[in-house]
A and B are shown apart, each in its own frame.
Chain A
């Protein structure tokens, strides 16, 4: 396969290759001449601003946005101020940095999003140069003004401007500068003459003495390395912290370069810097020799994680170090296991027995696993579908001879490549390499596709990669729907139906987000229709309130059962509505009403209770009685000085009896129609407490007791007066006799009563209370009675 290596160039130990990605779809008259160009990394979009320096106020430059393959995405005349620099954010928004320090943000389709300023002091001195940079914190902007002052914003989404200290002894604009991100901080590195400034004065170790001025510099994609170009034509390469020098190459070109970019990959063998002048580029690495390419027309370099893209008026190419696995396999006369496996497979296809020889050779060295791995890896690095296939077939062939080779790397590589080939397609125009794809993750790729409104492709990819619905298909559909609601020409009905039809079965869709979008576009009715599909009330309610659909919000909140949500609505309503409407609204929602009542603690409660009482005859009567009692208590308090108010009727009577006010007690008993039984109990207890035995006896004889006489016995015993108790035993009903006798401790009497009644249970009870030693005769009698009782 000699043709694979045809475009390889050696550089030191490594090879470099330049691959054509696209023939650009755009049609530019003058190529990239006199254009401001910005191309986003990871195969992102390209922005062009033609002739930014206006010749006359009437001529407006044109701002154009293209995909990486040169397919037009937007184009509009530039109406704002003079643009100094274009750049892309990490989420594919376009930044246009103007001379006056204003930064305008546009989306991929040229829609204006917002703007911010890099500080007021920029105004007079104007921006001389600006740079857009990326860090783990987002996208940042750095500018230098005509007064040579630097201002820096690390994250444009959380704008904090930092004015950097002045550079000592700097006259006029600095020759060159770069932004570094180190130790979680963004710093500007400035060259003046042969010196570099960060925060401290420093000079790179081992810079050629011939050099008197650093004229260009560039930082690697990872901010780890720095390259400097001097007026003597030397290229210095080292670490960004300036602690270490990697190499220095003499280019023999003294012109300052147009652009420089690091060209390295993770685990690079020969990291290099690409230097561009008009008409040619040079690749310089650690070794002394260099590679030189001729360039057609004006070009720009786009540094990537694993190479440099070169874009000119007609073509789009990728320059990169040949990945190790590709080199192993395709290098001429390579004996690497991957190369042998590829050879074996080729022979196998030709049905030649040589296949077996090659295979045996690999297997003898026990390297078949390694060979398969190399082929799979190399396939990932190739852009040609045919080459990918060849390599994967070889890998698959080799796998057959391995017993427990894990299938995942092979399978996932096949899947990844299919996705990559799809997005690299000319119509999509995202020329991602496998390394970049892995770094970027599928999530982000899907986001980018969604951002480009390539919904069907995004969904296909999600389905193909089996991304969980929630993060995959559902998310894409949601974005689609958000875009759909902005189509003003279609009727609410149509859109709502279209959305519900498509989103119907997808899980975890947030309809409220879509509805919010619709509301923002002024389509309230559509928003309400969409909200109906939202399963989470917590999401529905705030938007409904925002749209002033309070009734609906309230019923949705109640439906959810989340009382806190109901409170939210109620509180909102109370502030928004007048009192009458507020209560009218609540009246129809009993749950809300009761919650509101609780919140008001008691205020309304008492009123409601009044209402309840009024409706309830019994309660009304009881209240009346209570008032009557109160009057009585007050009167008596005044007359007798007994404190009674607050006592229940029961306790009032009891107190009266206790202090001997029998007549008054009697009066209450009659007035309040206290049942006889209760009154008897009450009087009995009250008298016993006073130990007024005489009165009790009188009371017992006053008429037939409605509560019987056992209570008399028991209460006397309770107050330790067995003598009095015995007086009432004879009057107790036969059923309670045993109990009464036992209460006063009269075992014999109890035994007599029990035997007389021939009740087995009662006899046993008495027995259980007898002690066998002292009451032997009684026990015998009882046992005999028990026996006769049992016989019957």
Chain B
């Protein structure tokens, strides 16, 4: 089931197994049959750790979603609440417990807090008078969840908001704890680098916790050589840009949650001759996306323009494989062919799925003309087919949007009010799209002139409603939107020094990370790349321009655990993005891992996998009301 976790440089399945073990231990603590009441948000992350089968083995007979009123009847001995430590959830639990049917045989209640128990919540339960109704109150420390062979996520949606907006460092504490767990399983990480306030804070906590654990020295040979902690606010630009890798686009357009994507079903209808167009499925098609699927692993990190070629190549290979059957003459040969059939069929299904997804994306992204700016022309060349008109409109929107983004990133007219943004506001395009663009302009100009900023804000408030003033306020607080304080815009210096814009990005056969944004090389990944070679000393000046301190710490290893590196053996670096990471950044890091003379392989960890939309949404006031 989770075999793909063990194929990477670091076997992340160990982490998953450790998490599963702990879950089993808790379940066994509540003897007898049980029903789980889920905080709905947790089901996704838990799915990455344990399937229903594991729960079933431990006598979990029913599952419910946490909601007010009474817990549905179920003939079980135990009711276990799996919840995040949130006050509003405590009120629901209290309601559940108090409205329990007194006539039925009594059921035992338990709470499992994920990822940590909280005094405040227990206090609330006490106030509600139900604290004593619980037999077990426990915590399930689920900090870092293995997401893929080289990817860990804490799946903490609001981490960025909490850290940078609300000044609540709980998630950083969890990060540090998670890193301690990781070190307990994979050995002490000898070198820690970091950039940013939060990174500094996490490193401090780690060193502190290490002192706390002193005495129980870790005797595991270190798997990671280096840990790099990066604040998201060091690179605010990257998530704002539209990701142009296959996986990134899927996320931008449809949203990937906990490794799953829901897609419009039309393209996946089984086309059988004679049935015509009726009976189209209406349920969204749900697909799991990870490296367990061979084809997906191959194409997910490609620039979308290279996906078509990869798919058609794959198609040829598969059909050639099916053709083999004509060559199979002897019984043995036929037997061999048949034995390969399941694998081939899986490959064919996978190909069909991804061809459909690629078509869906193409409808949205592809442009009919080549009013191309810079490298965008490459982007459009592949799918130059006649499209139905409706999709042409959407694709035009996509293209125009991209053009403006690229203008900003290259520093074109970032100091003036942008007409495209104005037009979008006038058309009342989705607010998040507007905010992404305005923030991007602000970031690329190191703040907007007060007049420009006020103009945008007024436009937004008049069009979308005054209540959004709080959202704008939030964006200002975290630095995404800000008035220019100094006359000097240092973004161009940063761009040039770090080579954030590559004119000749090669999308088909990339030679630089800039391919993931068709020209723009994500700043965060550039920093990572430069750290490995030639080291940050070469870019001291630029580092000073970016917010927060940069630092290096060393952790003493017990003697005998110093790694003796084989000739040509790569270093392993864990890059931790505090506040979220995009799929395109991950793709860029994977690209660096695979570079032949790279010398470093990367494992990526983050508080949450984000894209510009989900990120901005997390910063909006009353985010649930703003889904547009």
- Which of A468, A618, A768 has the most C-beta atoms of chain B within 10 angstroms of its own C-beta? A618
In the bound complex, what is the Cα–Cα distance between A678 and B393 (angstroms)?
21
A364 at interface by CB-CB < 8 Å: no
CB of B319, distance to nearest CB on chain A (Å): 28
Query: With the chains together, A571 CA to B124 CA distance in Å?
Result: 12
Interface pair B423/A707, CB less than 8 Å apart: yes
Residue in chain B with minimal CB distance to A601: B87
Q: Does A12 contact B (CB under 8 A)?
A: no
In the complex, B552 has a CB within 8 A of chain A? no
Q: Of residues 703 to 718 in A, which have CB atoms within 8 Å of B's CB atoms?
A: 707, 718
Give the size category of B's interface with A.
Answer: 35 or more
Residues of B within 8 A of A678 (CB): 422, 425-426, 459, 462-463
Closest chain-B Cβ to A687's Cβ sits at a distance in Å of 14
Residues of A within 8 A of B208 (CB): 535, 560
Is B370 at the interface (CB under 8 A from chain A)?
A: yes
A682 with B426: CB separation less than 8 A: yes
Residues of A within 8 A of B462 (CB): 625, 648-650, 672, 674, 678
Structural contact, B215 and A564, CB atoms closer than 8 A? no
B312 within 8 A of A: no
Asked if B371 lies at the interface with its beta carbon under 8 angstroms from chain A, I say yes
Taking a contact as CB atoms under 8 Å apart, the answer to whether A567 and B370 are in contact is no
A685 within 8 A of B: yes
- Please tell me if the beta carbons of A594 and B464 are within 8 angstroms of each other in the complex: no
Across the interface, which residues of A come within 8 angstroms of B425, CB to CB? 678
Which chain B residues numbered 449 to 466 have a C-beta less than 8 Å away from chain A?
454, 457-459, 461-466
- Report how far A765 CA is from B372 CA in the complex, Å: 11
Q: Which residues of A contact B172 (CB under 8 A)?
A: 561
CB nearest neighbor in A for B167: A594
Across the interface, which residues of A come within 8 angstroms of B466, CB to CB? 622-623, 625-626, 629, 648
> Is B470's CB within 8 Å of the partner chain A?
yes
Instruction: State in angstroms the CA–CA spacing of A55 and B212 once bound together.
Output: 59
Nearest CB of chain B from residue A49's CB, rounded to whole Å: 43
Residues of chain B within 8 A (CB-CB) of A591 are: 167-169
| CA distance in complex: A304, B120 (Å) | 53
Interface size class, chain A: 35 or more
Q: Is A8 interfacial (CB-CB < 8 Å)?
A: no
Interface residue? B79 (CB, 8 A): no
Knowing A564-B118, A594-B168, say if A762 contacts B369 (CB, 8 Å): yes
Hey, what's the 0/1 contact readout for A355-394 against B, CB within 8 Å counting as 1? Answer: 0000000000000000000000000000000000000000
A598 touching B459 by the CB < 8 A rule?
no
Which residues of the other chain, A, contact B211 by a CB distance below 8 angstroms? 535
Please give me the residue from chain B that is nearest to A569 by CB atom. B119
Q: Is residue A508 contacting chain B, with contact meaning CB distance below 8 A?
A: yes
Residues of A191-216 contacting chain B, CB below 8 A: none
Contacts of B541 in A (CB 8 A): none
A768: which of B87, B118, B386, B423 is its contact (CB, 8 Å)?
B386
Interface assignment of B478: CB less than 8 Å from any CB of chain A: no
Is the pair A618, B370 in contact by a Cβ cutoff of 8 Å? no
Q: What is the distance, in angstroms, from A667's C-beta to the closest C-beta of chain B?
A: 15
On whether the beta carbons of A622 and B473 are closer than 8 Å, the reply is no
Asked if B123 is an interface residue, CB under 8 A from chain A, the answer is yes
Most chain A C-beta atoms within 10 Å of own C-beta, residue among B166, B368, B377, B462: B462
> Is the pair B169, A685 in contact by a Cβ cutoff of 8 Å?
no
Secondary structure call for the A interface: helix
Q: Are A681 and B426 in contact (CB under 8 A)?
A: yes
Q: Are A761 and B372 in contact (CB under 8 A)?
A: yes
State which residues 344-385 of B face A: CB under 8 Å: 368-372, 377, 384-385
A469 touches B (CB below 8 Å): yes
If the complex has contacts A591-B167, A649-B463, are A571 and B120 also in contact, measured as CB distance less than 8 A?
yes
- The distance in angstroms between the C-alpha atoms of A624 and B464, with both chains bound, is 16
Report A614-640 residues with CB < 8 Å from chain B CB. Answer: 616, 618-619, 622-623, 625-626, 629
Query: If the complex has contacts A564-B120, A591-B169, are A508 and B368 also in contact, measured as CB distance less than 8 A?
Result: no
Most chain A CB within 10 A, of B168, B384, B426, is at B426
- Of the residues A536, A595, A682, A764, contact of B369 by C-beta under 8 Å: A764
Complex alpha-carbon distance, A594 and B170, angstroms: 12
Query: How far apart are B442's CB and chain A's nearest CB, in angstroms?
Result: 15
A590 within 8 A of partner (CB): yes
Instruction: Quote the shortest CB–CB distance from B582 to chain A (angstroms).
Output: 26
Q: Knowing A469-B215, A619-B469 are in contact, say whether A677-B170 is a contact too (CB < 8 A).
A: no
Q: In this assembly, does B98 line the interface, its C-beta being within 8 Å of a C-beta of chain A?
A: no
Q: Does B173 touch A at the CB level, under 8 Å?
A: yes
Knowing A468-B215, A768-B386, the reply to whether A677 touches B422 (Cβ < 8 A) is yes
Instruction: Tell me if B132 is interfacial: C-beta within 8 Å of chain A.
Output: no
Determine whether the beta carbon of A561 is less than 8 Å from that of B173: yes
Across the interface, A507 reaches (CB within 8 A) one of B168, B215, B427, namely B215
What distance in Å separates the Cβ of A736 from its nearest Cβ neighbour in chain B?
10
Give chain B interface residues in 167-212, CB to chain A under 8 Å: 167-170, 172-173, 176, 201, 204-205, 208, 211-212
- Provide a sorted-by-A list of 24 A–B residue pairs whose CB atoms are within 8 angstroms: A470-B215, A507-B215, A507-B217, A535-B212, A560-B208, A563-B169, A564-B117, A564-B120, A564-B170, A571-B120, A594-B166, A598-B168, A609-B470, A618-B457, A648-B464, A650-B428, A678-B462, A682-B426, A685-B427, A707-B423, A761-B377, A765-B371, A768-B368, A769-B386
Query: Nearest 8 A-B pairs (CB), nearest first?
Result: A508-B215, A681-B426, A765-B369, A470-B215, A507-B215, A648-B465, A650-B463, A626-B466
